[in-house]
Amino acid sequence: MSRLSHRSQDLSGSRLRIFLFMAWRNLWRYPVRSLLTVCALSGGLAMVIFNASLMTGMTRQMVVYATEVSTGHIQVHRQAFADDQDLYATLPWPWLEDIEADFPNLKVAPRLYAAGLASTADTSTGVMIRGVDAERELAVTRMLRQVRQGEVDLGIIDQTPQGIARYGIAVGTQLARNMRIAPGDELVLVTQAADGSIGNALFVVTAVLTPMELNFDRMGVVMSREAYQQLMFLEDGFHELAILMDNLDQLETTRLALQARLTELAKQNPLDEWGGPIEVRTWKELNPAVSEMLAVSSSMTLIIGLIIVALASLGMLNTMLMAVHERTREFGILMAIGMKKVWILVMVLLEALCLSLLSAVIGALLGSWLGLRMEETGIDFSDMMPDGYDWGGLIFEPVMKGYLEPTHVLYASVMMIIVALLASLIPSWRSIRLKPVEAMR
């Protein structure tokens, strides 16, 4: 019984190899038609991979802008500051060192905020002041590296004749354009300080930053923590803690751990009631538009890919229908001499499989090459997009670059093969419904 079973398997395997050989030969009976089908399928697959590369690159750029440029992966605020930018809703400075000691794998940067009025000899406008610890900020975000003009220097530049230090500041692109200021110019900032007095000081613009946030680009002024404290007379705490993680997969776990630790610190050192509870939020909560775009982009990539491949598979359907129609007499003879219908079905499907595999290899190579080219050079929309173009409050780079994911190449190739084989089921089914006598006429 066992020997009979082995012999049957050997016979089936040998027959399958013969049919595979026959299927490959049959494809090249009409080489032009087969080549056109391969071009349609491989071209469709290349477009799917190219589109996936563009979408992935665009979403990666959005995530980078949403996190690495200025936001960070996690931010900590008091509720009153998050809701109303309450100047007095601060976190104590000692907590900064506690967090750094308890979470050595995290990089943290404290920030202070205030609103004020900026003036030059010719113009004035409202500004949003941001005080940073330059050393920690450079470790967490690229904000101070996004320089369009000048060189960021937030230290003491010189002194006034009265012996008052003049600090350097960096400003947003649109603000510099509106106020017609450039590196080296002076800027007077006037604001209401935390003690109720009118704080004012003379600063020197050292750098103009590239667009990174819509509001900051129009109103942003960055200064050092020391300059902010001298201007605002606010030394008790900071408003915001931006955090950068090494492993983004642990985003929610880290958020919960931070929340627990900050709650514990609040029990040990109770905060005032007016600032409200402490809020620890991830970049997805801070930038919901980007988070939603990421969720939609993968679905859009799949739908667009299916449409492209389905359209390209119509070429496969046409080719196999023509092949079955032209070989009706041949199939009738094969069935008349005893070939089972299932083997005719297998032979037709093997022809479709050979076409699909050949198309998958060519399409994957072509699509990968296009994806890598996009990753290297990208598409420059500088001539079509205004400087600092934003969508949903997020600034876009004018050069859109792709990003090739090897898994996208694999999934797209498998999807194309499956869709093409499904398209070939119709002509395959027609081949086994033939009746030998009618087919041989």
Domain end position, chosen among 265, 286, 307 = 286
| Within a domain: 6 | no
| Within a domain: 5 | no
Percent of the chain with pLDDT strictly greater than 70: 92
* 389-395 contacts, C-beta under 8 A, 24 or more apart: 390/211, 390/214, 391/289, 392/289, 392/290, 392/293, 393/213, 393/214, 393/289, 394/62, 394/65, 394/66, 394/214, 394/287, 394/289, 394/290, 395/65, 395/211, 395/212, 395/213, 395/214, 395/217
| Within a domain: 363 | yes
d(CA 230, CA 41) in angstroms, rounded, equals 67
List, for residues 354-396, the tens digit of each pLDDT value: 888 898 999 999 999 998 988 888 787 777 766 656 665 566 6
For residue 355, what pLDDT is reported?
85
Whole-prediction pTM? 0.69
Q: Count of domains in the chain?
A: 2
List, for residues 264-300, the tens digit of each pLDDT value: 999 988 888 888 899 999 988 887 777 777 777 778 8
Are 43 and 96 within one domain? no
Are 275 and 412 within one domain? no
Q: Pairing between strand 237-238 and 186-192?
A: unpaired
| Within a domain: 7 | no
Phi/psi-derived region of residue 45, left when phi > 0, alpha when psi is between -120 and 50, beta in every other case: alpha
Domain end position, chosen among 223, 253, 286 = 286
Of the candidate ranges 39-43, 244-248, 306-310, 325-329, the one whose mean pLDDT is the lowest: 325-329
**Percentages helix, strand, coil for the chain, rounded to the nearest 5?**
55, 20, 20
| Within a domain: 302 | yes
Provide the 8-state DSSP code for 78: E
Higher pLDDT, 347 or 98: 98
Paired with 200 in beta bridges are: 190
| Residue 269 domain boundaries | 72-286
Are 271 and 149 within one domain? yes
- Give the relative orientation of helices 341-376 and 406-432 as an angle to the nearest 10 degrees: 160
Are 60 and 78 within one domain? no
Two structure tokens written together for 25:
């030969």
Are 405 and 381 within one domain? yes
Are 209 and 309 within one domain? no
Are 215 and 237 within one domain? yes
Burial classification of residue 195, based on how many CB atoms lie within 10 Å of its CB (0-12 exposed, 13-18 middle, 19 or more buried): exposed
Residue 349 to residues 333, 357, 411, Cα–Cα distance (Å): 19, 12, 21
Q: Which residues of 8-34 are buried (b: 16+ CB within 10 A; e: fewer)?
A: eeeeeeeeeeebbeebeebbeeeeebb
Are 104 and 240 within one domain? yes
d(CA 189, CA 191) in angstroms, rounded, equals 7
Domain end position, chosen among 248, 266, 286 = 286
| Within a domain: 428 | yes
| Within a domain: 145 | yes
Are 138 and 273 within one domain? yes
Are 42 and 91 within one domain? no
Residues 6+ apart with CB under 8 A from 204: 157, 158, 166, 167, 168, 169, 184, 185, 186, 187
Are 261 and 311 within one domain? no
Are 55 and 93 within one domain? no
| Within a domain: 4 | no
